[in-house]
Copies of this chain bind each other. A is one copy, B any other.
């Protein structure tokens, strides 16, 4: 965490996010938050991580504007942790991670949880990258372009 960004990547759109969520636990916390967990104890119970680590991670997520603390909704004197807009913006990433995991980390017939459309109960579609005109794009069909160096 708080790792120095390497020379070349000081402006890279991939490295910056990794500084915020580039550790094992943060994404799991965020996934749990998408699942509706809000309380310190809930996260700890769900993930089984040490309390000091959870504390540090939550603090970091809040510091990066990914989660926010709000007074507990049930009148208890504690606070709850909820995703901000920025945090909710991570949903596609989590889906991508999950789909990749399902593709490559499970045996063909091994059961696993599935992400389904709440309305129809059907599994969601696979994420796919498309061009402006709708063509599906593979990695090879894309390039990175750097912005013109302004004077």
Contact = CB atoms under 8 A, between A and B. Distances in A.
Interface of A: 3, 6-9, 11-20, 22-24, 27-28, 31, 34-35, 46-49, 65, 86, 88-106, 111-125, 127-135, 137-147, 150
A26 to B, nearest CB: 9
How many copies are assembled? 2
Majority secondary structure of chain A interface residues (helix, strand, loop or mixed): mixed
Nearest to A30: B14
A88 B100 CA distance: 10
A31 to B, nearest CB: 5
Nearest to A91: B139
A31 B3 CA distance: 18
A142 B113 contact: no
